[in-house]
Amino acid sequence: MGMGSGDVITPLIIGIMLGGLYALIALGLSLIFGVMRLINLAHGDLVILSSYIAYALLTYLGLDPVLGLVISIPFMFVLGFVIQRYLLGKGFAVSSETPLIIAFGISLVLQNLNQILWTPLSRGLNTSYSRMSFFVGERQFPVSYLLDFVAGIVVMLALRAFLTKTYMGRAITAASQDKRAAQLMGINTNRVYGYAFAIAMGSAAVAGTFLGMTFPFTPTSGISFLTIAFGTVVIGGLGSMLGTFFGGIILGVFQTMGGYLFGPASQMLIVYVLVLLILAIRPKGLFGR
Amino acid sequence: MIDDIVLKIDGIDVFHGTFQSLWNVSLEVRRGEMLALIGANTAGKTTLLDAISGILHPTKGTIEFQGKNIGGLDPYQIVELGITQVPEGRCVFSDMTVLDNLIIGSYAGSARRKRAENLKTVTDLFPKLAERKRQVAKTLSGGEQQMLAIGRGLMADPKLMLIDEMSLGLAPIVVDEIFKALAKIRARGITVLFVEQNVHRTLKEADRAYILETGRVALSGTAADLRDNAEVKKAYFGIDACEVT
């Protein structure tokens, strides 16, 4: 698509819906950074691991990917708790850089594990509905994009409600603002970190599933989605689920509108120029506190 | 008499990394009293509170709370046992609302079940917090934040409350208000151990006091005795002991 071809509304709507997927991927990254000040370099690969779990459930058990969340969310939740408790938690005791290296190690292990298990060929979650289209007037959109957007809103609202309405959620927020004061309030911060990571991984399970219904994926796809999640979090600002959601939407819209105006080759360039500008002008992010 | 001692610290050494901050410190807190800890900036007052709270662990000596050794426990376990600390600088959760700050205070153990009851106690004690419960904590004044920090501590349903430098940076009229609240807290049967820089004021309010100097207990006694003590007068009230005697 070059400049002026087609209407401007279609890429705008696609950008908003895709933004829901980007937000979905970034919510877990944002939560972990907000609570533990850790850039989880394995986040993209953990999302892709979830895509493969959904793929395995669909291929071998014939389980619909959305229904498969009943298995993949608890699995990723427990995996997240274990990773925090037995890998990252030990790293934090050594130094603040150690968990970063550990996360990088997890990323490499997952990529290679997925290569061995699934070969480097690209896979996708093909269901009866994910390749369907829906119409808004004359305009045609993939159903999977709409599902991404809905899933993004649902997970964002669920995380927000959890963080503001439950004891564990408030404890996660408190520990992210002042660890020592949180401890003095009787909060077991190690346990809170475990739950925060587990919940972030639960949201990664949802992200991986909807990602797999939208785009083909390979064992190394995690890196590009980690980059998109970084961009989302930079735009939206860390610590706020709502901010991360809008960050995803803005990134999605800049990507599709950039592609519409300047051609598909420059769409991600537009996005990362935006990310750099925000880092320079407003490093807290547009919605950051 | 033994039963009256709620907290007994016996000869503890405490380090920050490789730097020793407390040397052979012993201290007793009696049930229901208002005990003050006085000393200069680096005397080790906050370190002592952190050792009680489990943020720091003594390398030598014991800390007993109601007859149970708590020297190796984690901070959250200490809170569950009934010791809460109101930290220096308030440390309220600045992006959370006043109400959420208070609710998080009731996180530990049995305090959750008494949340409604304790919330009423706190808002009776500090009506301003009830007025501002939907406000984000960072929008409160310094005095209101101190009230919130104390209220949050009360939500943990403590038996012993440790309060660090509560009057720091506050106007005298606000300090009066907070001391009045402390008297009410104490009247509810909660033992109070507080740290202060204002020696004059402290010795007026407390029953007893310990004076720390460079990580050691220099003096201790009833507030009345310490007020009359020549060394205290010289060191803290700027009166030369020779002129007094």
Q: Write down the pLDDT at residue B83.
A: 97
Q: Write down the pLDDT at residue B238.
A: 63
Picking from B76, B83, B95, B162 by the largest number of A CB atoms within 10 A of its own CB, the best residue to mutate is: B76
Q: Write down the pLDDT at residue B3.
A: 60
Please give the Cα distance from A201 to A77 (Å, whole number): 5
The total number of residues shown for chain A amounts to 289
CATH of the domain at A94: 1.10.3470
Q: Write down the pLDDT at residue A12.
A: 95
Calculate the average pLDDT of chain A: 93
Residue A142 pLDDT grade (very low, low, confident, very high; cuts 50, 70, 90):
very high
Of the partner residues A180, A185, A289, the one whose CB lies closest to the CB of residue B104: A185
Domain membership flag for residue A47: yes
Domain membership flag for residue A30: yes
Chain segment A11-44, per-residue pLDDT in tens: 999 999 999 999 999 999 999 998 888 999 999 9
Structural domain containing residue A43? 9-281
Domain count, chain A: 1
Q: Write down the pLDDT at residue B245.
A: 41
Q: Write down the pLDDT at residue A29.
A: 96
Among the listed ranges A129-138, A205-214, B8-17, B210-219, which one has the minimum average pLDDT value? A129-138
pLDDT at A283 over 90: no
Rounded to a whole number, what is the distance in Å from the CA of A186 to chain B's nearest CA?
A: 4
Of the partner residues B80, B93, B95, the one whose CB lies closest to the CB of residue A289: B95
Rounded to a whole number, what is the distance in Å from the CA of A116 to chain B's nearest CA?
A: 43
Rounded to a whole number, what is the distance in Å from the CA of A103 to chain B's nearest CA?
A: 27
Residues of chain B with pLDDT under 70: 1-3, 237-245
Domain membership flag for residue A172: yes
Strand partners, B8: B28, B64
* Residue B186 CA from chain centroid, whole number: 12
Q: Does A165 contact chain B (CB < 8 Å)?
A: no
Please give the Cα distance from B136 to A136 (Å, whole number): 42
Q: Answer for the pair A244, A11: CB distance below 8 angstroms, yes or no.
A: no
Q: Write down the pLDDT at residue A238.
A: 77
Q: Does B55 contact chain A (CB < 8 Å)?
A: yes
Predicted TM-score (pTM) of this structure: 0.89
Chain segment B65-103, per-residue pLDDT in tens: 999 999 999 999 999 999 999 999 999 999 999 999 999
Q: Does A7 contact chain B (CB < 8 Å)?
A: no
Please give the Cα distance from B179 to A215 (Å, whole number): 64
Q: Answer for the pair A177, B93: CB distance below 8 angstroms, yes or no.
A: yes
Strand partners, A142: A133
Q: Write down the pLDDT at residue B40.
A: 84
Q: Write down the pLDDT at residue A2.
A: 42
